[in-house]
Amino acid sequence: MKIRQLQCFVVLAEELNFTRAAQRLNMSQPPLSTMIQSLEREVGAELFSRTSRRMNLTRAGEAFLRHARVILAQHEHSLLEIREIGAGQHGVIEIGTTGSILRGGLADLLAGFCRDHPRITVRIHEQSPAMQINEVISRRADISFNRSIPSDGELAYEFAWREELVALLPDTHFAAGQDSVSLQDLRRDPHVVLRPDSSDFAAYVMSRISGGGFRPRISQQVMDAQSIPSLIVAGFGVSIVPAAIARLTSGPLVFRPIRPDPPVSDVFAVYRQSDRTPALNAFLDAMRAALESG
């Protein structure tokens, strides 16, 4: 049974006249008659009752018409979905990231993309940077937003956005009332830091703190930057964090820019060199457009 047979059957069932049905189908009457006869032999029942004066659907024809319309609707829906997938308008994107990156530029990027591509499902997975890369390599994720450049040759990366790092202080800190702080202002404070061996970004932050001409006192080491504000509130010192951490952070805390020479963090989109899906390509195009627009 072919889709064309079903289409011809539905049109004939609506017209109940071979001449009018053939005109709608842009075909001559004899091939239409042959196609309906072949369909009736295939289903094993007469679908139309014919007299010299009129044509009607049989009981079997009425039942078959309901099923034929459902099949044709499903067929059209399937074709539309396939075309949308091919055009990057449909599909699923698995994204690995950290909470601090999600709070930053990624949240705004996702909001715009999901608004413009409502048929693409976006799934977010909060993971450590190393796990994100492993998930992309193993094809369990499509893209990672990471503060480190991957070394694996299978992966491609591109700059997504840059974020300034700021000082996170309890509101009782002597520098809390200043417009900005220097790293020297924090030399006597204990610091809450990301574990230096957890990522290149964590090592970079440690190098900037140590580069201020003093050896920092480390009070706590954590794996996730989102844990830092709670530890600062609990009295474990100060920290240098991405500015995005300030979003949705409450409590007796202040965020102050670091001057001069503020440390910065570049965020990179990391994905496989090959087998990018049309949905992922659409997402990368949106990211590039957002970068161009600032």
Q: Which CATH class is domain 3-86?
A: mainly alpha
Burial of 53 (0-12, 13-18, 19+ CB in 10 A): exposed
Q: Where in the chain is the domain with CATH 1.10.10.10?
A: 3-86
pLDDT tens figures, 120-156: 899 999 988 889 999 999 999 999 999 988 888 889 9
Q: How confident is the model at residue 254 (pLDDT cuts 50, 70, 90)?
A: very high
**Which residue do the tokens 């995005």 mark?**
244
Number of helices (H) and strands (E), helices first, in the chain? 10, 11
Looking at residue 113, what is its pLDDT?
93
Give the residue carrying structure tokens 């842009």: 26
Q: Which two tokens stand for residue 49?
A: 């009752």
Identify the CATH assignment for 164-264 out of 3.30.70.60, 3.10.20.30, 3.40.190.10, 3.40.50.720. Answer: 3.40.190.10
pLDDT digit string, tens, across residues 161-203: 999 999 999 999 999 999 999 988 998 899 999 988 888 888 8
Res. 233: pLDDT tops 90 = yes
Given this model, what pLDDT does residue 144 score? 96
Q: Give CB contacts under 8 A, 24+ apart, made by 152-158.
A: 154/272, 154/273, 154/274, 155/270, 155/271, 155/272, 155/273, 156/270, 156/271, 156/272, 156/273, 157/268, 157/269, 157/270, 157/271, 158/268, 158/269, 158/284, 158/288
Per DSSP, what are the bridge partners of residue 152? none
Percent of the chain with pLDDT over 70: 95
* Predicted confidence (pLDDT) at residue 90 exceeds the cutoff of 70: no
pTM over 0.85: no
Enter the CATH code of domain 91-160+266-293.
Answer: 3.40.190.10
CATH 3.40.190.10 domain position(s) in the chain = 91-160+266-293, 164-264
